[in-house]
Amino acid sequence: MSVVLLKNLFQFKRPVAPRTKSARSAKSPHPPSQSPIPAIDRVVIPPLHSEKHPEGSWIETTSSADLEAQASVIHSSSSASESQNCRNGPQSNDSSQVTSWFRKACLAVRTFRPTPRMISDAIIGLSDGMTVPFALTAGLSSLGNTRIVVLGGLAELIAGMISMGVGGALGAKAESEGYKASVADTTRLVTNSSAEASALVHDVLHPFDFDLAQRDAITAKLMQSTERMVDYLMRFHHQEKQPDPSRPMACGITIGLGYALGGLIPLIPYFCVGNHEVLKALWISVGTMVVTLFLFGSGKTVLLAEKNQDKSTWKAIKGGLEMVAIGGGSAAVAVGLVHGINSNVPE
């Protein structure tokens, strides 16, 4: 009986083929849709043999030889792009520099605000330029020769522009030197006579109703630093402000250009007429200067008026009429003197 059972057992047993890796994967107990490991989107896990591309992607390699080959390809492509940039770089850099300079220049023009001193210098140059050359050309017109008027006017215009510009620059330089001298004197005073410097501080603070204790406290605080005390006395006792280092050059250029611009206006009609049409040019110049002087005088009155003052129309008209009277009177006196001298002096 046992022999029969053993025989049946061996008879129904079938050989089982060895299971490979692919078979195990095909017969996985977990289907793809029911995988126990959740899928993670947008996560890139670099391979074992990989390197990072400059643009951010991973480059998979299977061996060191492949890695060296791919690195050489990347190096050659980057070298080619760099060489192309080098060929095209100077042109693009030049254009970008020009664009940057142009933008800075436009920004400087838009944000430019003339200072009160600059406006004052321009008014001085324009005032002298519109009165002195106008009077000279009007006086020379009595000679009856347009060429003489033009040459004399240009000579006076160039000489006056240089003279006015240099005079303005020297005046501003003297102002700067005067400030430096005041600083030196105040520094010696603070260093050698602290009691006198303290008395000056008390004199400055007295009109503001500070009591003695408060004035002594402020003075003691200022005396802790010589530089602070000198700065305080220069600002509040001497009431002097440190001039701009570029003030002399700016003052000379502003006054000189203002004189040239103002003096060129009465000369323009003489360039447009013939040699013996000097009287015609004179009347055109007179009409032009009357309008110009009136506009300049009224505009100057409105521009220099303070914010708390009344900028009425009558004040503007008054300023324009005053400028016309000054310029016209100077021209009339010049014409009379030149005509009288020319009539009485023998040829």
Question: What are 121-136's pLDDT values in tens digits?
Answer: 888 888 888 888 888 8
Instruction: With a cut of 80, say whether residue 151 has pLDDT above it.
Output: yes
The widest CA-to-CA distance across the chain, in whole angstroms, is 175
**Rounded mean pLDDT, 123-152:** 85
Say if CB 254 and CB 118 are below 8 A apart: yes
> Cα–Cα distance between 167 and 287 in angstroms, integer?
31
- Tell me what pLDDT residue 28 has: 46
Instruction: With a cut of 80, say whether residue 273 has pLDDT above it.
Output: yes
Strands 50-52 and 58-60 come out as antiparallel
**Rounded mean pLDDT, 66-90:** 51
Say if CB 146 and CB 275 are below 8 A apart: yes
What is the number of other CB atoms lying within 10 angstroms of the CB of residue 251? 27
Instruction: With a cut of 60, say whether residue 58 has pLDDT above it.
Output: no
H helix runs in 193-266, sequence order: 194-205, 212-223, 226-232, 247-264
Question: DSSP class of residue 346?
Answer: -
Residue 248, amino acid: P
- Strand ranges in 62-160 using DSSP code E only, listed in sequence order: none
Please tell me the pTM assigned to this model: 0.59
Task: Please report, for residues 115, 248, 324, the alpha-carbon distance to residue 331 in angstroms, rounded to integers and kept in the order given.
Answer: 32, 31, 10
Residue 60 β-bridge partners = 50
> Cα–Cα distance between 235 and 167 in angstroms, integer?
27
Long-range contacts of 110-114 (CB under 8 A, 24+ apart): none
- Give 301-313 pLDDT, tens digit per residue: 777 665 445 557 7
**Rounded mean pLDDT, 254-263:** 91
> Cα–Cα distance between 133 and 148 in angstroms, integer?
13
- Rounded CA Rg of the chain: 46
In this structure, what token pair is assigned to residue 309? 């003052």
Q: E strand or H helix at 60, and its extent?
A: strand 58-60
Task: Please report, for residues 28, 53, 54, the alpha-carbon distance to residue 72 in angstroms, rounded to integers and kept in the order given.
Answer: 43, 12, 14
> Cα–Cα distance between 153 and 281 in angstroms, integer?
13
Half-sphere exposure of 16 (CA within 13 A, CB side): 4
> Cα–Cα distance between 205 and 211 in angstroms, integer?
9
- Tell me what pLDDT residue 2 has: 47
Say if CB 134 and CB 330 are below 8 A apart: yes
- As to burial, measured by CB atoms within 10 angstroms (0-12 exposed, 13-18 middle, 19+ buried), residue 202 is middle
- Tell me what pLDDT residue 167 has: 92
> Cα–Cα distance between 129 and 116 in angstroms, integer?
20
- Give me the count of residues in the chain: 347
In this structure, what token pair is assigned to residue 264? 């060129």
Instruction: With a cut of 70, say whether residue 189 has pLDDT above it.
Output: yes
Say if CB 278 and CB 144 are below 8 A apart: yes
> Cα–Cα distance between 342 and 347 in angstroms, integer?
9
φ, ψ for residue 60, nearest 5 deg = -85, 135
